[in-house]
Amino acid sequence: MATLEIRDLHVSVETEQGPKEILRGVDLTIGSGETHAIMGPNGSGKSTLAYSIAGHPKYTITSGTVTLDGENLLEMSVDERARAGLFLAMQYPVEVAGVTVSNFLRTAKTAIDGKAPSLRTWVKDVRGAMDALKMDPAFAERDVNAGFSGGEKKRHEILQMELLKPRFAVLDETDSGLDVDALKIVSEGVNRVRENSEVGVLLITHYTRILRYIKPDFVHVFVDGKVAAEGGPELADELEANGYDRFTGASV
């Protein structure tokens, strides 16, 4: 079994007032085939965790480790992380001017596999995946994220996940800005990948809504830059009923 292991991770960002510690000792182990939900209030550091795993230059790892099957992920370039099988869907995906979705996907696939996919199966795979996500074929010829609606961005992320077949996927607020129909389509896409592969998923969310469609095996409550509580799916139900107050120490 493959594992993505985060040990005592401390991360700072540079602010005008100097460095500010945001992650304060995160411990998390995700095995292949497992889905872990990270749930927490706004500002608790969930996206910082995603960006740190991604290797975003703005986030400085001050201590701790992140390993994929024992390999030090933090020493890898962003490309190497992708080749190692890591997939990251960011809360705020960037525009890539002049690169169509179709070219972007094929370039990414080629980079990750180390060889270009066979054109015939590739075209079929892309069509099939777009179809399943109820995406208009014309979408493939648009520039990446240029003028994409919130829902299109999320579908595009899941399209990438379906085609790139990662070993571990970090999905940051994949549910944000989606209406119920879009949420269902996107969730079904994630579930297809889960069924068809041994992907390990780190599903980051503020709301419990998406967990009705994507059932997590484990739930971690994230507060103030670290994991404050852990449990099974029942923990998400409790959060839905009672919110985060019990974990943040706020008075009810």
The residues of the shown chain that bind Mg ion, judged by CB under 5 A, are 25, 27, 46-47, 91
Rounded Cα gap, residues 183 and 181, in angstroms: 5
In angstroms, the Cα distances linking 242 to 41, 80, 234 are 13, 41, 12
193 Cβ contact list (under 8 Å, min separation 6): 158, 161, 162, 165, 169, 199
How does DSSP assign 155-175, residue by residue? HHHHHHHHHH--SEEEEESTT
Residue 19 is given by DSSP the state E
Residue 25 binds what, of Mg ion, ligand ADP, none (CB under 5 to 8 Å, by partner type)?
Answer: Mg ion
Place of tokens 């020493």: 75
Residue 3 binds what, of Mg ion, ligand ADP, none (CB under 5 to 8 Å, by partner type)?
Answer: none
Choice between 105 and 204, CB closer to ligand ADP? 204
Choice between 59 and 148, CB closer to ligand ADP? 59
CB of residue 25 vs ligand ADP: minimum separation in angstroms? 15
Residue 208 binds what, of Mg ion, ligand ADP, none (CB under 5 to 8 Å, by partner type)?
Answer: none
CB of residue 94 vs ligand ADP: minimum separation in angstroms? 15
Rounded Cα gap, residues 187 and 176, in angstroms: 12
What kind and span of H or E run contains 129? helix 119-132
Rounded Cα gap, residues 132 and 124, in angstroms: 12
- Read off the tokens for 95: 């525009």
Residue 35 binds what, of Mg ion, ligand ADP, none (CB under 5 to 8 Å, by partner type)?
Answer: none
CB of residue 9 vs Mg ion: minimum separation in angstroms? 9
Choice between 40 and 200, CB closer to ligand ADP? 40
Residue 52 binds what, of Mg ion, ligand ADP, none (CB under 5 to 8 Å, by partner type)?
Answer: none
Which residues are at the interface with ligand ADP (CB under 6 A)?
A: 13, 15, 22, 40, 42-48, 58
- Read off the tokens for 230: 């852990």
Choice between 19 and 231, CB closer to ligand ADP? 19
Choice between 49 and 101, CB closer to ligand ADP? 49
CB of residue 8 vs ligand ADP: minimum separation in angstroms? 18
